[in-house]
């Protein structure tokens, strides 16, 4: 697999806390939302990066207890950005969901 985040995929990602990992995923989701109406290509690349980081998070052994939530998250993100949004997600919902991880990651520093 060709990773966009080469340094992170080589092991650095697994050194981050779960909250830091999810905050980084959220940053890419935020970029995808912001670019969606301005530049579809940029938005597409941002969601691809978010899914890549989420896949790394899913593969991190310390997160195996959260596997069900993480795989459902991936499913709903793909549905929202690529398909029919059958789960009725919204930009606001995604921002609120990932905001909690950004906040928590800052508290742990």
| Least confident stretch, 4-8, 13-17, 31-35, 37-41 | 4-8
Which sequence spans correspond to the domains of the chain? 17-107
Question: pLDDT class for 11, splitting at 50, 70, 90?
Answer: confident
Q: Give the burial class of 74: count Cβ atoms within 10 A of its Cβ; 0-12 exposed, 13-18 middle, 19 or more buried.
A: middle
User: Does the predicted TM-score (pTM) go above 0.75?
Assistant: yes
Task: Read off the pLDDT of each residue in 19-38 and give the average, rounded to a whole number.
Answer: 95
* Arithmetic mean of pLDDT over the chain: 90
For the chain, give the percent of residues with pLDDT over 70.
89
């Amino acid at each position: 697999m060709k990773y966009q985040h080469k340094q992170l995929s080589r092991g650095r990602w697994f050194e981050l806390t779960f909250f830091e990992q999810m905050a980084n995923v959220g940053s890419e989701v935020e970029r995808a939302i912001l670019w969606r109406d301005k530049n579809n290509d940029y938005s597409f690349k941002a969601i691809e990066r978010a899914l890549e980081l989420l896949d790394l998070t899913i593969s991190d052994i310390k997160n195996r207890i959260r596997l069900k939530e993480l795989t459902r998250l991936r499913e709903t993100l793909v549905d929202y950005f690529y398909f029919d949004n059958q789960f009725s997600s919204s930009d606001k919902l995604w921002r609120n969901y990932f905001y909690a991880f950004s906040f928590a990651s800052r508290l742990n520093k």
